[in-house]
Structure 1
């Protein structure tokens, strides 16, 4: 019996890694989708995050075509066209948010849709990023806005009662429903928000948004690590399997001891000897370029034409050694 070679071990590690990835992928599908995205049971995927207007980071330059303001929709026949709407998608309003009618001050920063009528500002929903597919319609709903009842509604609300320590009284509140539609026009550059209408109690407001972001897209692959990290993990697993498995085999089956427990010991030993020989050759080549000691260059190693041979060389060597000893003594 022979221990499998390194390539075979690598293939085994790849197969194991693929099985782990497949199991992880099935677990990812069961997880909650990212905010402002939704996937249908048939595989259709919608991502409305490009419609979210986020605050501009300090020092960052505005990119060409980047939207930095909230979305606006004209009220038209609503209150004789004197009430215009401002909304954001899956994010709070960017514009200044304050003094909303009947809304707790703590919630002002979370308002995602509002309209102004006269000197009063009405919230028509708090931030939400939970997209819903109703049939073939993509819908986003905001709730918990200002109290219902039109522009004459007083400020006493559930939240104010809570602050005063009184028993809260349930109050119907304004809400918003936004329906998104796919814009297939290739020349369209930005989304268009349109006010559709409201109910007689002025509690529920409907909008439509036409945008290319509302078209079906492919769900992006979820990968927690990059390709380089994945390859590194596979390589480490393969090396560990190769060496640990080989040591177990060589020790228990081949009864090897010491360094011979390593798998393919003869191959690794040959590589070590080759590296050692290369190192010796390299150091020997470098030693020739080093300056020699004073006095040795005058020696006649081969005897030269003086014919003294070995005896002459010995005399020269003895004379040089005596000379060096005298210099060191001084």
Structure 2
């Protein structure tokens, strides 16, 4: 019996801790859909935080929690806390509606305490616009309380957080991947060759660079290749200026002598 209690007691404590933990499953959607469930799951990182804003002119504050109890009030997701006065439940997370966009989520808590003299005595409703802001970790603010009408009154709040920001996957082109691979291979070649030349061969100075003799001649080899491809290296003779004139040197004609023409 004593052994059984030792086993059962931690098990009950563990189950109790799991059930009491705030999570996204505590929110009960009034209208379930896959898009609403997907948007609600994005708010999972916010379930352990309380968001509070003070209204100094009215001497009260609002506290908001995602799918969790505020101020120990069961099912209360957003509460108006008055200094020395009665706290007012604005909305319950067990009556939730969710509308999701590309970088925003509109979270609606319904079923709050009823108005006394406004809005035909209907139940209060809280609307929290949760917007993407990578610079803010949870800025909560009051926008307005729309109660100057007969029906469909609401409280509107804003929450700026990075939790709803879309994840932008990094896309690398084939050329970028090729350059990264080449750069990595070149780095391994230089570093590995340097260590080998220094530690194994015992080289010093510029001789530590791997295959130094080859790389030092690469410029000369490139110039020779360019010279071989782009230039004419054969012995070419200049073409004659006039056609029909041979290129061979003309033999000197013997000087004609006209001595025989002179009178004797």
TM class, shorter-length: 0.3 to 0.5
Q: Which has the higher helix share?
A: 1
Q: Which has the higher strand share?
A: 2
TM-score, normalised via structure 2 length: 0.43
TM-score, normalised via structure 1 length: 0.35
